[in-house]
Chains A and B, each alone.
Chain A
């Protein structure tokens, strides 16, 4: 018997994503990923000043504000072929890596952990045994028995109050929940501690960005920060040392907690290393530019086909022709006119709503392709491209995570290909977070050193020519490859398209009928109880879905629903 399940919405944060699956004999046989809101927010930019575009794009999404700001100015700078001062690159790099760290921590501990952690079960844990377990895994100072006891008491009060809040959508007692009460309690303790720690990243962004949550310091041509060692209102040594203090706090938590918790939890869910594999093509763009033009990067980029890390095609510069010419978006299965794939510079968004048609149009998200193929973006892609490029950090931390997993599970034969899985995406995100903290430290040191040479430049003024110019800006964002595509005519924006990470991953079938990464990853997922499709949530959540910018508009009537029907 085939059962059809609809989960709508599937995200815990902004956005409207609907997932439909057909389940045969307890496994997913077909899947559809559908964005439920019309997206045309870029149209608001047409006719406006390209120097102001970033203040708008920063408002595309409530989760990735800085990400869209920085990518926008990169697109305009690319159109102008404008170099920017090294200090500006480094300041932007520090902001974006700090943001990425916060985003990854919040995703694991606050948005997706409840898919794996039975919060209510933590009430049955022995706090002393929990502390003993925690202290055997890590030297994190807040793992002691008093801490665990206090967390359990707090949780008891909270659950007793009947307001489950962020835990309300969890499937407590579901047969797919496998952690012991002690591991559940440990996870809840780190959930609460991560709330405190993540704010150190916000403080870094706020100091450099001038304001939080919307930064003010970005400009086409660089940044508006002034650097000096005497005046109090500028970026001075005192502020740089303050930033260093926040970096140190983040590093301690990431390395002694996040990087330990993911393999520790993963050990209980090893079966999920064989579930949730995606399209197995991976796209990642280089980031953290070190030179004014964007030809030298601390984070590598490239494309991997068929999961073969020995055949990496590198992406090496801003505006790289291999990347620029490979991207297209198809609307054949999306609620827009047309169907043939279009390059983003000539992208169109004319709506053509048809209702949800399994074989026809069923999503407001378009289907992006890279040279005609579907590609997964995000930490898993970044890690694999990093390892394929021989990046020291990605190689080291992936190796460390795999070693921990093999040791704790007692299974020395777990292959690297296991990362192409639901649990593998979480591991990859933890690995990337560790790389990000090292990169952040590195960018900070380079900024201090560069200022030390007497270079205080932060801005090169842009000049807009008559006639038409085009640019692409990209960023290795927390959810993956983000690109903004701009066409400028006589100094005004003529067309603007953002191809966002969740479009790559959440897109529907393309012009050739190829399924997207979410859809591919859901095939063969087990579903123990169609009324509670926790397994579907686990796999989709592993991508860190956030389609607030993949799609826009708001529907106040949306409620969390699971519809089940037998076909």
Chain B
């Protein structure tokens, strides 16, 4: 797969995997990497709840896709897409748990005159934020849709992901399965 005409595309999964549905963004990019070949020109980052470490990758991106848990008041597991000029208002109403990090980074990019041409947040409304890895059934169902949203966003930017012959299991998926099998509640 060749690089797109638009330069680097950065996909960041945000969230805390230790807090159940809060980690949906990280789990989504983990799935993405397990299921698809990631071509040159696309960078996938597990951002966790970090901030400044993401500044440099963001600077080099012409398009930015952020997967995150967002609270819009819609039913649990609902999928949400917010793009470009909608984003400042989104942060003003503080719907994301990581707003300080990401919104500050976007503001710093603006201050530097390096705002990406396209910024999209794809998110899912979390149900429960207990201290455990296992997702709620609503989030487990929403995870599929969230991964597909990232795939679709990439397609709209001219990148058709090629599926791997066999999808593997990422670290957090395996740990969540162990948690369930061993009866750990966290």
Contacts and interface: CB of A to CB of B under 8 A. Distances in A.
Nearest to B186: A44
Interface stretch (A192-200, A314-322, A472-480, A508-516): A192-200
Query: Which of A12, A166, A213 gathers most chain B CB within 10 Å?
Result: A213
B25 interface: no
A26 interface: no
Nearest to B97: A554
B184 interface: yes
B52 A102 contact: yes
A65 B48 contact: yes
Chain B: number of interface residues, binned into ranges: 35 or more
A198 B51 CA distance: 13
Contact of B111 (A154, A211, A213, A548): A154
B182 interface: yes
A357 interface: no
A322 B12 CA distance: 44
A48 B55 contact: no
Contact of A195 (B17, B55, B95, B106): B55
Contact of B71 (A157, A195, A556, A558): A556
- The binding surface of chain A is classed by DSSP as loop
Contacts of A559: 94
Interface stretch (A51-59, A261-269, A283-291, A423-431): A51-59
B104 A165 contact: yes
B127 to A, nearest CB: 14
B129 A59 contact: no
A63 B50 contact: yes
Contacts of B98: 62
A323 B6 CA distance: 56
B95 A556 contact: yes
A213 B47 contact: yes
Nearest to B71: A556
Contacts of A166: 104, 107-108, 111
B18 A56 contact: yes
A245 interface: no
B107 A199 contact: no
A44 B48 contact: no
B18 A41 contact: yes
B18 A163 contact: no
B182 to A, nearest CB: 6
A165 B18 contact: no
B165 to A, nearest CB: 23
B56 A165 contact: no
Interface of A: 12-14, 40-41, 43-44, 46-48, 52, 55-56, 59-63, 65, 102, 106, 110, 154-155, 157-158, 161, 163-166, 192, 195, 198-199, 202, 211-214, 548, 552-554, 556-559
22 contacts: A13-B100, A14-B101, A41-B131, A44-B132, A44-B186, A59-B18, A59-B49, A62-B16, A62-B48, A62-B49, A62-B51, A63-B50, A106-B52, A164-B107, A165-B103, A165-B110, A192-B111, A195-B55, A195-B112, A552-B19, A553-B19, A558-B94
